[in-house]
Structure 1
């Protein structure tokens, strides 16, 4: 099965969504609580439809001040309400534009917290199962996916496992926190090598050199990365070449 390419969009950072959309397969569209607004959400959904790109909701903690990248210690009912609010509005905008939500991918700190806290992951699965019957959950591919697959299976939710083209990894398979200066990968040569390794061997490498075996269905590039367009074009070419020769 070919590896797909996804990108976080609708965040109104570099205004490059229209340039990125033709090169990707999946669009993770901001839901308004870390970035975006109703008009931008609708416009980004329409761009995805135009380019036949699968639409994903990109919900976050309610924290525009920090772009959703700071953990908020919400109770389970509070987190459920935050998710219901974003996903209900987003899915309705999809329907009004004649399309449907395909998957959910949490943003920023909520995504990182989900990967470290099984209670938060369970809450996300519970909310998705409450609201939808055929919506997947995109999460980070780790060397050990068993606990996440077990929880998701309980809620009849399919998992889309992803790796990150423009982020560095820790030895445990999680991402280097953005508080570190080396969290992002901006060197195009390093990105190209990382993706080549993943496509050819199924491994990524941590910053200390540890080999991380990952089963990956999709590759992510952050739309707010100032080099996003160049990275997306490069990875699109690598994936297409790999698909032609494999």
Structure 2
């Protein structure tokens, strides 16, 4: 049994919009199994009604709420790289945090964190200027917010320089390269298809602070929060299994809080 370990389980939610409500049912089912929700803010997905409903449901389940700002690309679901300046990144993030925070406040809650989405997340992981712009946006809006970013990335380092509390995120169902970054989705082997392998990867990251890369190397990694994707075919079963496994190993599954 492990003792003294904690881990936040986060999931991207509220990614329906307009007439497309297919995600809402799975969102409600997965909420009791996670500890933090990253709610889409209308740029890559989501709309005002979806944001409000998702905030209400997250509060009902006492799940920490985060803004999930993305690139303005509904057709590409925010996963296509765009050429943007640091100033544009700053403005996009401030705008989207403000929109989601308004719904949280209107429901009597408090915003917990910010986690960039998709291509914006990956771009900020490698680009110092974009990372600093996003961290600065969070700091200027609400400096006590947590900023979720890829473990070991430029975004985490920028957060620490600017004075925002960075939270190192790991992924259960994604493979890693030897530089500690995620294998791009466009490459073979980017996704871990077998639940058993994904569960083993999470346990190794939490217990030993290490991950085995796609080429078999072992690299250090910090795991403050693990992302569970809520839109996969077996997402609900996987979320339930991973939570049960962590709790069985003595891990305290709870929303991230700084020491």
Return the TM-score normalized by structure 1: 0.93
Contact 1:199 1:242 in 2 (8 A): no
Structure 1: 5+ residue stretches without partners: none
1:193 equivalent in alignment to 2:203? no
Aligned to 2:212: 205
Taking a change above 3 Å as real, the CA distance of residues 203 and 244 of structure 1, as seen in their structure-2 partners, is: closer
The within-5 A match list for 1:172-187 is 172-187=179-194
Structure 2: 5+ residue stretches without partners: 17-21, 253-259
Aligned to 1:96: 106
Taking a change above 3 Å as real, the CA distance of residues 216 and 244 of structure 1, as seen in their structure-2 partners, is: closer
The within-5 A match list for 1:59-98 is 59-98=69-108
Taking a change above 3 Å as real, the CA distance of residues 44 and 170 of structure 1, as seen in their structure-2 partners, is: same
Aligned to 1:8: 12
Partners of 1:75 and 1:216 in 2: CA distance: 30
Aligned length: 242
Residue in structure 1 matching 2:36, options 18, 26, 33: 26
Contact 1:11 1:224 in 2 (8 A): no
Aligned-residue CA RMSD (Å): 1.7
Partners of 2:157 and 2:33 in 1: CA distance: 33
Deviation by residue 1:85-132 (Cα, 9 ceiling, x = unmatched) = 211111111101111111100000000011111111000011111111
Residue 66 of structure 1 aligns to a residue whose secondary structure is: coil
The within-5 A match list for 1:143-162 is 150-162=157-169
Taking a change above 3 Å as real, the CA distance of residues 32 and 148 of structure 1, as seen in their structure-2 partners, is: closer
Deviation at 1:243, TM superposition (A): 2.0
Residue 203 of structure 2 aligns to a residue whose secondary structure is: helix
Contact 1:138 1:159 in 2 (8 A): yes
Deviation by residue 1:152-179 (Cα, 9 ceiling, x = unmatched) = 2332200111110111111111111111
